[in-house]
């Protein structure tokens, strides 16, 4: 008798209304895997890019997608020593090649799984795994921000940007960020030292004026558009640009040599170590989750539409999905 679970299944690539809630088999647990009752997951731009077909050659259909889990371990494989049934955990599933987190249960290799921060709810923890791991990769591993440096974060009110501001501040950086005027108080509250209204002002002009043409040490691009090409103009010598937003248009980089710039292209790789490091900051309240909206799993399509509309509807931070699964009452 195969056990089943509810999952949001994507039968075809397309709009936010494509998801179908179905009963699907509960996945089996391999020797180095754990099965987790999912209490919450969340939506990332990666999710709607996958949904609309941007990565069609990496995602066989029908698919269960989703890249954040916070929940409780309900079964472990025979070679798992570091976790036990009942442990509260959070993690990002492997991106591509395995089942995602829009479901009541999820199975992952335990090398990806970290203990959930004690002071966070499942909703808060689920809002952070992909975003937090990505910011860690970008600012700590790749840009290697040093205390005292200045960082320009594009899109500071967004799901990634709002965590990036806090992690950059925790690293001892001065933080500039672009945001809509109405979000300036919000990003200042997160620690931003300067908010730039990108609609009213040219960020290159503002940065060069404020820094006396010295520029910033690090640019973090969470937005795309022409930021890659323009960034050398705001960059100090030996400055670094970290970009999350893959852009197919050719980029004119001629200014990059004169600045001795480095461009770091990031497509997140997940692992436990980054989440454990992030947990330290979370448990000390140096970084706080920002949840802009919460939807139940059954309304995941609405959640997608809400995130895609983005700042146009005043969204700040993350869109979280709660999963009231059959096993969840027990925890």
Q: Which residues bind a copy of itself (CB under 8 A)?
A: 142, 228, 237, 243, 246-254, 256-267, 269
The residue among 247, 279, 108 whose CA lies nearest residue 230 is 247
Supply the minimum distance, in Å, between the C-beta of residue 310 and a copy of itself: 21
| Beta carbon nearer to a copy of itself, 56 or 84 | 56
Write the DSSP assignment of 3-38 as a string of letters: -EEEEEEB-SS-SGGG-EEEEEEPPP--TTEEEEEE
Cα angle 147-153-157, degrees, rounded to a multiple of 5 = 125
3-state SS class at 231: helix
From the CB of 209, what's the least distance to a copy of itself, in Å?
Answer: 23
CB of 173 to a copy of itself, least distance (A): 20
DSSP character for 93?
P
Q: Which long-range contacts (CB under 8 A, 24 or more apart) does 186-194 make?
A: 186/157, 186/162, 186/316, 187/156, 187/157, 187/161, 187/162, 190/156, 190/162, 190/165, 190/166, 190/290, 191/165, 191/166, 192/153, 192/156, 192/165
**Pick 228 or 307: Cβ nearer a copy of itself:** 228
Measured from the CB of residue 242, what is the shortest distance to a copy of itself in angstroms?
9
Q: Map residue 249 onto helix, strand or coil.
A: coil
Structure token pair of residue 290: 């920002």
Name which of 83 and 263 has its Cβ closer to a copy of itself. 263
- Supply the minimum distance, in Å, between the C-beta of residue 213 and a copy of itself: 17
Q: Which is nearer to a copy of itself, 147 or 254 (CB)?
A: 254
- In the complex, least distance from residue 243 CB atom to a copy of itself, rounded to whole angstroms: 8
Query: How many CB atoms lie under 10 A from the CB of residue 237?
Result: 11
Decide whether 132 or 191 has the Cβ nearer to a copy of itself: 132
Which of 59/266 has CB closer to a copy of itself? 266
């Amino acid at each position: 008798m195969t056990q089943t679970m509810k999952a949001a299944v994507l039968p075809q690539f397309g709009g936010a209304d494509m998801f179908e809630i179905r009963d699907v088999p509960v996945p089996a647990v391999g020797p180095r895997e754990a099965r987790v009752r999912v209490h919450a997951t969340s939506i990332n731009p990666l999710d709607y890019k996958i949904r609309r077909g941007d990565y069609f050659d990496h995602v066989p259909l029908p698919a269960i997608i989703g890249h954040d889990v916070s929940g409780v371990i309900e079964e472990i494989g025979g070679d798992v020593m570091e976790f036990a049934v009942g442990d509260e955990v959070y993690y990002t599933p492997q991106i591509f090649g395995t089942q995602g987190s829009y479901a009541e249960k999820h199975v992952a290799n335990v090398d990806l799984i970290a203990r959930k921060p004690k002071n966070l709810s499942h909703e808060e923890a689920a809002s952070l795994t992909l975003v937090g791991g990505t910011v860690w990769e970008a600012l700590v591993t790749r840009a290697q921000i040093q205390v005292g440096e200045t960082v320009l974060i594009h899109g500071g009110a967004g799901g990634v940007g709002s965590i990036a501001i806090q992690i950059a501040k925790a690293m001892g950086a001065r933080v500039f960020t672009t945001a809509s005027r109405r979000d300036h108080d919000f990003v200042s509250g997160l620690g931003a030292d300067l908010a730039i209204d990108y609609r009213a002002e040219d960020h290159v002009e503002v940065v060069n004026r404020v820094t006396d043409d010295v520029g910033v040490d690090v640019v973090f691009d969470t937005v795309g558009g022409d930021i890659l090409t323009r960034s050398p103009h705001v960059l100090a010598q030996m400055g670094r640009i970290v970009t999350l937003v893959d852009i197919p248009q050719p980029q004119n980089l001629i200014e990059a040599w004169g600045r001795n710039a480095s461009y770091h292209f990031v497509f997140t790789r997940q692992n436990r170590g980054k989440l454990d490091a992030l947990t330290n900051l979370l448990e000390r309240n140096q970084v706080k989750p920002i949840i802009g909206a919460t939807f139940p799993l059954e309304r995941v399509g609405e959640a997608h539409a809400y995130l895609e509309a983005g700042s146009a509807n005043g969204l700040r931070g993350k869109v979280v999905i709660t999963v009231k699964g059959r096993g969840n009452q027990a925890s």
